[in-house]
């Protein structure tokens, strides 16, 4: 939690590997001329060397170098893939600031497996509701789900706990069913709407997804008992292997500058602005740079607004951490914010600013948790 600068570097297609090395070294030399604490050597790793290890000084850089992959058939399973070739260096920007890692990576293709079973060997419910509620984060999964609805002439229904009375069951499997259900009842005088066919798929987060068939009852039985429909439903339940292409010439990372403010506002401003200056230099050298600055400085260049923003973050972090610390056993939780001489003042200001509502909800949640009993001596 705290102000962070997220950034991506990519290289032009025309750059050779020799050019990449030269430009990264030029960027490293530029960092040496900036007001930073330390700049590492430029290092190159191949194969298993790219994987992080416990005592590796580049452990954090290698961890950030991994790309995060998600299969469209199983949006809740996340895979972390290490590159097979990486060139990188690290910058200690300022006291309290996270190291800023920079480099370029190449990744092989990756095959996401079918949905895994749990520790008991059972297949968990699928979670296609992620594609419904967070479609912008799962566009490929959303496309698959919409395509399923179009193929079988289905209209997805809103999430609901209401269960229609079943007149006839066409299919009943462990994770899905197709049923003829009663239409909505209007009144004793008006009676009920016509019966219709409902397709129901179990879901991990929302219990189920439901669709209404747009066609007639007469054609529904042959349609939904066909081998083609069964195969389509089983793909939604089991998923399928999905190959994600390899990538070359890219780097994605982030640098949290928030806790540089533990050493004073000037130190924070120096850290945050220096990270932006390094990314500007990367642009000047020809790297394609994409930045998401939670402090807004990358786009606004407003130092006063940045200083005010980090102060608000300090208050929020102090109030939330204070509530969590009070609710947890002594010594369980720690945070750099508690070392601030003005911690209690920040905590109070945070609660007055409205962050206390969130802090209170967190404290209530922690208070309800059953803590593990201490082991007998």
Dig out the tokens for 248 from the structure: 């070359």
The pLDDT-based confidence of 362 (bands split at 50, 70, 90) is low
Quote the CA–CA distance of 274 and 35 in Å, as a whole number: 7
* CA–CA distances in Å: residue 2 to residues 189, 256, 291: 61, 7, 16
Lookup: tokens for 138? 């799962």
Residue 54, pLDDT score: 87
pLDDT(92) > 60: yes
Nearest to 232 by CA among 137, 305, 147, 113: 147
H or E segment at 20? Answer: helix 17-32
CA 265, 271, 276, 280 dihedral sign is: positive
Q: In 128-283, at which residue ranges do the beta strands (DSSP E only) sit?
A: 154-156, 166-172, 176-181, 185-187, 191-192, 196-203, 207-213, 242-244, 247-256
Buried b / exposed e over 243-282, threshold 16 CB at 10 Å, is ebeebbbbbbbbbbbbbbbbeeeebbbbbbbbbbebbebb
pLDDT > 90 fraction of the chain, expressed in percent and rounded: 65
- The overall pTM is greater than 0.85: no
**DSSP structural state of residue 226:** S
Q: What is the pLDDT of residues 317-339, one digit of tens each?
A: 777 677 666 656 666 567 777 77
Reduce the DSSP state of residue 215 to 3 states and report it: coil
- 199 to each of 19, 140, 153, 236, 351, how far by Cα in Å? 56, 22, 11, 13, 48
Q: Tokens representing 94?
A: 């300022």
- Segment 116-166, tens digit of pLDDT: 777 777 888 899 999 999 989 999 999 999 999 999 999 999 998 888 889
Dihedral pair phi/psi, residue 92, rounded to 5°: -85, 100
> Which pLDDT value is given to residue 44?
97
Total length of the chain: 377
Element (H, E) at 325: helix 303-327
**Domain ranges for the chain:** 4-110+243-301, 129-240, 312-368
pLDDT of residue 160: 86
In 82-123 the beta strands, taken as DSSP E runs, fall at 85-92, 100-107, 110-112
Using the predicted structure, report yes or no on whether residue 170 has a pLDDT greater than 70. Answer: yes
Q: What is the average pLDDT score of the chain?
A: 88
Q: Which pLDDT does position 161 carry in this prediction?
A: 81
Tell me the three state secondary structure of residue 128: coil
pLDDT computed for residue 117 by the predictor: 78
Of 227, 238, 231, 229, residue with least CA distance to 202: 238
Instruction: Give yes or no for residue 377 having a pLDDT over 60.
Output: no
Nearest partner of 96 among 229, 221, 275, judged by Cα: 275
Report whether 14 contacts 67 (CB < 8 A): no
**CA atoms within 13 A of residue 144's CA, in its CB half-sphere:** 21
């Amino acid at each position: 939690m705290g102000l962070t600068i997220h950034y991506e570097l990519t290289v032009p297609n025309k750059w050779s590997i020799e050019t990449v090395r030269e430009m990264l070294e030029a960027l490293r030399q530029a960092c040496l001329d900036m007001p930073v604490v330390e700049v590492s050597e430029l290092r190159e790793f191949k194969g298993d060397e790219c994987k992080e290890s416990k005592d590796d000084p580049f452990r954090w850089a290698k961890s950030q170098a991994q790309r995060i992959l998600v299969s469209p058939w199983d949006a809740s399973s996340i895979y972390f893939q290490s590159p097979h070739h990486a060139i990188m260096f690290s910058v200690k920007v300022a006291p309290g600031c996270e190291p800023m890692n920079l480099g370029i990576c190449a990744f092989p293709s990756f095959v996401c497996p079918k949905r895994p079973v749990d520790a008991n060997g059972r297949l968990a419910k699928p979670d296609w509701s992620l594609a419904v509620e967070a479609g912008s984060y799962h566009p490929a999964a959303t496309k698959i789900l919409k395509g399923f609805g179009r193929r079988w002439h289905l209209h997805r229904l809103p999430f609901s706990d209401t269960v229609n009375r079943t007149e006839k069951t066409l299919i009943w499997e462990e994770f899905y069913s197709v049923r003829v259900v009663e239409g909505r009842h209007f009144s004793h005088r008006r009676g009920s709407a016509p019966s219709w066919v409902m397709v129901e798929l179990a879901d991990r987060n929302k219990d189920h997804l439901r669709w209404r068939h747009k066609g007639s009852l007469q054609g529904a039985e042959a349609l939904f008992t066909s081998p083609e429909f069964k195969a389509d439903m089983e793909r939604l339940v089991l998923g399928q292997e999905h190959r994600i292409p390899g990538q070359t010439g890219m780097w994605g990372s982030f640098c949290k500058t928030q806790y540089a403010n533990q050493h004073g506002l000037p130190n924070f401003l120096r850290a945050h602005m220096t990270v932006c200056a390094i990314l500007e230099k990367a642009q000047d050298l020809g790297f394609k740079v994409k930045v998401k600055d939670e402090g807004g400085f990358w786009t606004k260049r407003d130092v006063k607004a940045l200083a005010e923003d980090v102060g608000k973050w300090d208050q929020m972090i102090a109030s939330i951490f204070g509530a969590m610390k009070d609710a947890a056993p002594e010594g369980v939780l720690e945070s750099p914010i508690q070392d601030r001489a003005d911690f209690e003042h920040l905590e109070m200001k945070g609660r007055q600013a409205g962050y206390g509502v969130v802090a209170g909800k967190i404290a209530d949640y922690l208070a309800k948790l059953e803590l593990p009993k201490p082991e007998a001596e």
